[in-house]
Amino acid sequence: MEKRALGSTGLSIAPIVFGGNVFGWTIDEKTSFEVLDAFVDHGFNAIDTADVYSAWVPGNTGGESETIIGNWLKARPGMRNRVAIFTKVGSVGGGPHPGALSEEWIVKAVEGSLSRLGIEAIDLYFSHWPDPATPYEETLAAYGKLLRAGKVKAIGASNLNAAQLADALKVAKDRGLPHYQVLQPEYNLYDRASYDGVLRELCMAEGLGVVTYFSLASGFLSGKYRSAADLGQSQRGDRVAKYLTPRGEAILKALDHVGAGHGAKPAEVALAWLIARKGVTAPIASATRAAHVASFAKAASLRLATEDIAALDQASA
C-alpha cells in the first residue's frame, strides 16, 4: 500500500490511521484485536489513541484504549515493528484542563501511557488540547526532555487554531526547542471551516503532517443516518443530529452520486476526498468490525476524478 511521509517525523504511514477511541467503548478487547489484525493485514500501519480514551464509559477511568492496544501488541510478537503508535496528553474529562500541558503533568502522563501500551517509546505524542495556563516554552521543553530520553520520537498538537499553532512554532524557533511536527484537526466534508484557510495554509507552508479526526463526522458521512429516526442505530447517534441539515443532505447526495460512479460507499468516497486533499496526510477513521476495514482499503485505493472532487466541494461549500 502507498505510504506517505508524515511531516518531518521520519514516519511513513499508510493513508488511513486507525482511530482507537472505540476500544473499550463501542467494542470490547476481543473485537478490538480482530479489527486491529484486519487493519494491519490490509497494509495499514498507524494507530491513534489518547490517555483519556475511553473515560466517558461508565465504570472506566481512562486509558482503556491504550491498555487494549498494549495487550494486542503483547499478544502479537513482532507487531510493534510494523505499526506506529500515536497517543495524546493534556485532556482531563475529555476536554481542556488548566495545567494539563505542564511539565509536571506531561512527565507523569507519559509514564502511564508507556506502561499501558507496553512500549519503550511513543512514535508520535500529541498535545490533546490547548492549555492557556501553561506557556508553550514549558510544554515544548518538557517534550524536549522526553525526546532526548527516547520516550517519544516525534511530537504533534491537536485542536490548535492558526494563531496558536503559529505562536507555538515561533516559540520553538526562538528558544531552540522542539517544534510540533504534526497537527490533528477536526476536518471532514461537513466540518471544514476550522481547518480550511489560514490553518491549512500554515501547515503546508511549515511542512507539518496532518491527520484529521472525526473524518466521517461521527459516522454521518457513512450515509447510514438520513433522518432523526436513524440516530438510534449506534451509541454515537446523539453526535450526528447536528448534521441533519439541508447542507448535510446535499453532501450525502453528492457522496451517493460520486460513489455510484465508482461502485463505492459514501464513507469510502468521504475518506478518499480527504486522502486526495492537499494539506492532509491521512484521515483517522474507526471501525467496530473486522469486515469494515475492507472499506478502508477501498477508500485508500479510490482515485477521485477532478469532477468528483468538484461535486463534493460544491455540496460542502
172-216 pLDDT per residue, tens: 999 999 999 999 999 999 999 999 999 999 999 999 999 999 999
- pTM of the predicted model as reported, rounded to 2 decimal places: 0.96
Residue 261 belongs to some domain of the structure: no
Compute the distance between CA of residue 274 and CA of residue 71 in angstroms, rounded to an integer. 31
Full domain range(s) for residue 288 = 4-242+266-304
Tell me the longest C-alpha to C-alpha distance in the chain: 55
Residue 255 belongs to some domain of the structure: no
For residue 152 the three cell numbers come to 517519544
Region 9-38: mean pLDDT is: 97
Region 21-40: mean pLDDT is: 97
Percent of the chain whose predicted confidence (pLDDT) is above 70: 99
Region 39-64: mean pLDDT is: 96
Q: What is the pLDDT of residue 236?
A: 66
pLDDT in tens, 235-259: 667 789 999 999 999 999 999 999 9
The CA distances from residue 63 to 19, 25, 108, 124, in Å, are 14, 11, 14, 17
Region 55-70: mean pLDDT is: 95
CA atoms within 13 A on the CB side of 11: 34
Cis peptide before 65 (omega within 30 of 0): no
Total number of domains constituting the chain: 1
Give yes or no: 53 in active site.
Answer: yes
Q: Nearest CA to 208 among 176, 177, 185, 192?
A: 185
pLDDT in tens, 119-154: 999 999 999 999 999 999 999 999 999 999 999 999
Q: Where are the alpha helices (DSSP H) in the chain?
A: 29-41, 64-75, 103-117, 136-148, 162-175, 198-206, 246-262, 266-276, 293-301, 306-316
Q: What is the pLDDT of residue 227?
A: 85
Residue 254 belongs to some domain of the structure: no
Residue 256 belongs to some domain of the structure: no
Cβ pair 316, 192 in contact under 8 A = yes
| Residue 113 belongs to domain with CATH number | 3.20.20.100
Cβ pair 36, 18 in contact under 8 A = yes
Residues 6+ apart with CB under 8 A from 51: 62, 63, 66, 87, 88, 89, 91, 109, 112, 113, 116
The CA distances from residue 240 to 85, 234, 290, in Å, are 28, 10, 23
